[in-house]
Structure 1
Amino acid sequence: MARVVVDVMLKPEILDPQGKAVHGALPRLGFEGIADVRQGKRFELQVDGELTEDLLAEIEKIAGTLLSNPVIEDYTVRVEGGRA
């Protein structure tokens, strides 16, 4: 059984208020040396059976239409375990 991971991040030009809030809190908590923080989302999809090229293409469609907003977000798809 394969696991496909979809990471979704705001595009670099889009303001990330949650990331800024975390970045601002770090020094108050005693953490130094962090230049910036961006927050994103991670989705893990467990695949029944064999992960084929067709199924991976379907997952790419899912990532681009349901899991992310392509106007403001970028996404990456990668396989963890199993083969495509």
Structure 2
Amino acid sequence: MTRESTSRDGEIGPLEPGTRQEAQLSVRIADIAWTALSVVAGLWVVLASVDAVRGSGSWAYCAAALIMLAIGLTMRLRSVRRRTRM
């Protein structure tokens, strides 16, 4: 057998219409996006709360960061649950 004719289990197939990888692409992109939003919002919460405690920042920034973090984590959990149902 030549190298081209062997298939590996971990190998990603082509992203052609109708393939399994193409169907999972949007789910994976959404998963990455919500994870990135959660990380950025988490860092924002930490920095805003440290600034607010020091007195140089506003509690409004901290509240807005907490809201964004809650939205990001909620959507992240929903995307994971949706993926396990598929």
Higher relative contact order structure (alpha carbons within 8 Å, sequence separation ≥ 6): 1
Provide TM-score, normalisation by structure 1: 0.27
Greater Rg by CA: 2
